[in-house]
Amino acid sequence: MTRQQQSFLGMVSPFFKGIGQIMLQDSVWTGLFFLVGICCGSLMMGLAATVAVTIGTFTAMLLKYNKDEINNGLYGFSATLVGVALICFFQPTIIIWVAVVIGSALATIIQHLFIVKKIPAFTFPFILVTWVFLYVFHCFPVLIPSQPASTGSYVNNYPALFSHGIGQVIFQDNIWAGVLFSIGVFISRPIAAIYAIMSIALSSIMAYHLKEPVSDIYLGLLSYNAVLCAITFAGNKAEDFITALIAVVLSVLIMILMRYMNMPALTFPFLLATWFSILIKMAKQTVQLKLK
């Protein structure tokens, strides 16, 4: 690799890693696969992702946040999710694009507050900012919601079930988007991709037996939070598997509860299930230390 190529890679790395960190992957290639996948589902969402990760990363640079954290993409993923979410929920008007810019910067600032306090925020900044915008914008009828996706054509389509399960992490119901996301995770951390596939199977079975709509199950709406939980705790130890299992089960139950409450779940079930699982893990370690 030439010096110019290395320089270019170093320049774009924080942005692609910012996208890849949506699924906790510190990889430029993962971010590239994710961005291409988003564009396969929606060019407008792909543009929003690009704008949002750029704003989020530049905000961190302007505010002189830790360079290693910036280079690892820690200030890009929540911003990216905010951008894609707003285009998913609303027609891309000028107001929405302004919100994408503002929301991306706010998500970055909130992310920094958690990093400084050494609290694992995961996607909380994205959730908080998006909830606020959803509440505010639904008060203004001039903003047009996006058209809902068709749900009937994927029932009994098992490849679509698994593809959508991972695709919906970034609001994609396009099969090829899910395939590209899966490849992106696999090339960065194969075991994380395997855990993700298993989580889709488990969460779908749970949702089916808990009488959730079959069309929603095949669209991946009951699985994407489970995917994030599984990727977070993926590992080679039995303890990793058990922790991931607990988080996946909890995420499905929380997701169903939020659906009954008519709340926009986003990735909140993942966040709550992961925080709870981390607390269980920490409590177990504390008990083991005291017993020694």
- Please check whether residues 133 and 173 belong to one and the same domain: no
The average pLDDT across 223-227 equals 99
Termini Cα distance of the chain: 51
- Please check whether residues 132 and 159 belong to one and the same domain: no
Residue 88: predicted pLDDT: 96
Residue 142: predicted pLDDT: 59
CB-side neighbour CA atoms (13 Å) of 161: 19
Q: How far apart are CA 53 and CA 30, in angstroms?
A: 14
pLDDT tens-digit map of 126-161: 999 999 999 999 887 656 666 665 555 677 899 999
Q: How confident is the model at residue 55 (pLDDT cuts 50, 70, 90)?
A: very high
Question: Where in the sequence is the domain holding 251, given as residue range(s)?
Answer: 150-292
Q: Which two tokens stand for residue 138?
A: 């639904």
pLDDT surpasses 70 at 118: yes
Residue 154: predicted pLDDT: 78
Residue 3, in any domain of the structure: no
Residue 168: predicted pLDDT: 98
Q: How far apart are CA 81 and CA 104, in angstroms?
A: 9
Q: How far apart are CA 290 and CA 92, in angstroms?
A: 56
Q: How confident is the model at residue 4 (pLDDT cuts 50, 70, 90)?
A: confident
pLDDT surpasses 90 at 43: yes
The average pLDDT across 197-220 equals 97
Residue 138: predicted pLDDT: 86
- Please check whether residues 141 and 161 belong to one and the same domain: no
- Please check whether residues 228 and 139 belong to one and the same domain: no
Residue 129 near residue 136, CB atoms below 8 Å: no
The average pLDDT across 91-95 equals 93
> Which is nearest to 125 in space by CA: 74, 91, 71?
74
- Please check whether residues 143 and 158 belong to one and the same domain: no
Please give the distance of CA 22 from its chain centroid, rounded to a whole number.
Answer: 5
pLDDT tens-digit map of 251-288: 999 999 999 999 999 999 999 999 999 999 999 888 88
Residue 19 near residue 227, CB atoms below 8 Å: no
Residue 48, in any domain of the structure: yes
pLDDT surpasses 80 at 7: no
% of the chain beyond a pLDDT of 90? 86
Residue 143: predicted pLDDT: 66
- Please check whether residues 21 and 115 belong to one and the same domain: yes
- Please check whether residues 108 and 236 belong to one and the same domain: no
Residue 81, in any domain of the structure: yes
Residue 4, in any domain of the structure: no
Q: Domain ends where: 97, 124, 147? A: 147
- Please check whether residues 162 and 284 belong to one and the same domain: yes
Q: Give 286-292's long-range contacts (Cβ < 8 A, gap of 24+).
A: none
Q: Domain ends where: 132, 147, 162? A: 147
Q: Domain ends where: 120, 147, 174? A: 147
Q: How confident is the model at residue 117 (pLDDT cuts 50, 70, 90)?
A: very high
- Please check whether residues 110 and 156 belong to one and the same domain: no
Residue 141: predicted pLDDT: 65
CA distances (Å), origin 99, targets 90, 129, 241: 11, 10, 39
Residue 1: predicted pLDDT: 66
Q: Which two tokens stand for residue 193?
A: 């991709």
pLDDT surpasses 90 at 224: yes
Residue 6, in any domain of the structure: no
% of the chain beyond a pLDDT of 70? 95
- Tell me which amino acid residue 80 is: T
**3-state SS string for the chain:** CCHHHHHHHHHHHHHHHHHHHHHCCCCHHHHHHHHHHHHHHCHHHHHHHHHHHHHHHHHHHHCCCCHHHHHCCCCCHHHHHHHHHHHHHECCCHHHHHHHHHHHHHHHHHHHHHHHCCCCCCCHHHHHHHHHHHHHHCCCCCCCECCCCCCCCCCCCHHHHHHHHHHHHHCCCCHHHHHHHHHHHHHHCHHHHHHHHHHHHHHHHHHHHCCCCHHHHHCCCCCHHHHHHHHHHCCCCHHHHHHHHHHHHHHHHHHHHHHHCCCCCCCHHHHHHHHHHHHHHHHHHHHHHHHC
Residue 1, in any domain of the structure: no
Residue 273: predicted pLDDT: 99
- Split into its structural domains, the chain has a count of 2
CATH number at residue 70: 1.10.3430.10
Residue 7, in any domain of the structure: no
- Please check whether residues 209 and 263 belong to one and the same domain: yes
